[in-house]
Amino acid sequence: EVQLVESGGGLVQPGGSLRLSCAASGFTFSSYSMNWVRQAPGKGLEWVSYISSSSSTIYYADSVKGRFTISRDNAKNSLYLQMNSLRAEDTAVYYCARGIAVAGTHAFDIWGQGTMVTVSS
Amino acid sequence: SYVLTQPPSVSVAPGKTARITCGGNNIGSKSVHWYQQKPGQAPVLVIYYDSDRPSGIPERFSGSNSGNTATLTISRVEAGDEADYYCQVWDSSSDHHWVFGGGTKLTVL
């Protein structure tokens, strides 16, 4: 079964750090690009970051650039998101999502169940 | 940055057809993807590349894209289709960002 399982969420104080993980199974992880997408409570979806299959290409949303770092370990079938200098507005459910290349763009065809990050004092 | 505009809500009776729009400047030149999200669940891809359906998605779901509007059409709506729906595009013009619409709550009356 194709599956993504996030972990590492929790409560952190403003200015703190947290590292999220996403474990992939049921497919050849190293062949796919991956993404992080977040959803604040009661709000819509917000794309956070993208990493290509070989880690050669990385993109960030302006809202997290310079604070968040995406990485992956293809040998461990794992995706990561290092989040530093966290703010209250980073409070959200964070999803990892597999990217599929379609005519020069990417759709997100497999999503994890999400992990909640709460930034509060 | 590129902006996608969706109506906050759409209501439809069971068995009827629901149409959810996604507006954007010359969106017809981009590939649009649609996601369904039910309460407490992760999003599910229901349409990609404007009008293609992933395996397992019913034929009742279809998509179109032209000019400044993309549309997700759900035929013969069922109670189980009640969910939030999001459109998405890749904005290659501004630092390679993926953009989501604000989402549309589909209510089945």
Give A10-30 pLDDT, tens digit per residue: 999 999 999 999 999 999 999
Share of chain A above pLDDT 90, in %: 95
Nearest by Cα to A110 from B38, B29, B35? B35
Confidence of residue A102 (pLDDT cuts 50, 70, 90): confident
d(CA B14, CA B36): 18
* Residues ≥6 apart with Cβ < 8 Å to A89: A40, A63, A119
Share of chain A above pLDDT 70, in %: 100
**Interface test mutation site (partner B, options A33, A47, A56, A105, max chain B beta carbons within 10 A):** A105
Per-residue pLDDT reduced to its tens digit, B63-92: 999 999 999 999 999 999 999 999 999 987
Per-residue pLDDT reduced to its tens digit, B23-59: 999 999 999 999 999 999 999 999 999 999 999 999 9
Q: Does A61 lie at the interface with B, CB-CB under 8 angstroms?
A: yes
Measured in angstroms, the CA of B61 and the nearest CA of chain A are apart by: 16
> Distances from the Cα of A29 to the Cαs of A3, A24, A44, A99, B68, in angstroms?
10, 7, 27, 11, 36
- What pLDDT is recorded for position B92? 79
- What pLDDT is recorded for position B71? 98
Q: Does B88 lie at the interface with A, CB-CB under 8 angstroms?
A: yes
Nearest CA in chain B to A39: B42
d(CA B97, CA B12): 33
